[in-house]
Structure 1
């Protein structure tokens, strides 16, 4: 697969990853190399990655605990302290090997340590390959509120080796697939139609689809790097999806949802709202709901939980001037940004999902 250049960052695929990173390390002559992992990528991904590195530089491994619950400033402080203790300087390189938590947090750590050191992202989950790999968003959560603190800054390189997908459990694969489904809904019907038989997708299919998803997101972030207009469309399903994810994360009596699992619910809700407000075909909403629930199952959300979930909408990053702004669909491939939605319609969307 051809490499992709997006806003001064080159995204490489499979075998090209290693020739590119080795060339980059040699040319830049980094003083030290640090690799950030969690306990899972330390065990399943790091050995094969290091085996392919060609360098005489000192390599230090920094491990953090996995999971969204650890995507915090406190974790950053731990990594910053470790970098300092290991004598990292401004000519050091940080390589982040993991899912979105690792690449978002590791990117933020690199951008802020000594006012910025070089970093490379190696996404190892399907979600991080098609989402966190493009666009330069870095950051952490603020309590249970998603991605409230961060900066936009691109890594030197992104290395997408789809062999790492063989290490993933099925629920993580489904979570990543949700972002690809979103890319289909907001971009074009042709791409969307490739996902109509989700159970039959193979890893070979995914290689091509991942490349296409990255191209879709690359186009969006190139046109609108700082989320003023077009980039907002990438938040389809995320306004309510993030609120649901945050609510489940903050309630000990609920099972934590993976990002993609929450976004699937958010997309069904957004399709219903789109039908009510901007003319998205009712039958398409029903078809999308059936496809998603058949593949992902249904999340139980009681009516008593609608209000506290909706209360979390005020923290959405797209809000301005006190308005909660939704991304809706007029048709597949025709998103509409900055839509205002009455609470009554949101409640009806929840009821439609539950029905």
Structure 2
């Protein structure tokens, strides 16, 4: 099918030093130019798609008022969903190219569907996508470990390592809260999901030993905040502890230590996490620092190796642009984006005992 272009809006995506209205419109057009006629959004034209980044780009389209295009992206997921509720880790031209099923990739549809509903108020859409969200959440929770953390993938042969990733579990935590919000809106309680969400938050905030050690990666640093598990003083301490290790002044955020490589996606996501914890000034500082990654077509290069003064890899991805637009949208006060990423209005699941550093 051909996806019609909707009446986009970019006035709330203006942020001095980051985006003008014209630049925002070019960035949105860059994402829509990558979207395929069937609604799917690969990393770049001719590239592969993964379900998580597909959803991130779709949320950016909603933030820009491209609601019909965003809806087409979610309907693509509904059509491609596996019978067990999952999606494969990668698709190229609609054909699966990696048949592992990663739990954070699968769960994230809930965040996108809730964001689209808040952006549009489209109750028919919410009812239509509810079976998709329900099946995805049920698949993910089958891989919850006894400590509350989420096993990170199910392999093609059905096996799954009893291992969890902090970044992935933090993203799943956020998605579960959005799924609970959908269930609440539909007056369809899901007590098992509430229990699972509480157990997961308890693992994220209090038991780092339950996750594989990926502390070299900046995502493990900020994702407990972006995933809405950490707020308040615990979040501030975590950011301050890692700031000098991961943030390169005037260039952005390192993807992984000790590599001299800053990336636009991680930088924009950190900015969104900073906004969520009330650090808007630092969020704007980070977004301004990655303007060197902006290309003439409005998209953003994935990363920059500052030791070599070289852009690498040679790709401009829809999800990098999407992450930046979502961060700017939150800073601009877009109601749907602030509700989804702020977390204050999302159900918390089963509350943990007093003293746990949660929301």
TM over 0.5: no
Q: TM-score, normalised by structure 1?
A: 0.30
Comparing both chains, which one has the higher relative contact order based on Cα–Cα distances under 8 Å and sequence gaps of 6 or more? 2
Q: TM-score, normalised by structure 2?
A: 0.30
The answer to which structure has the higher strand fraction is 1
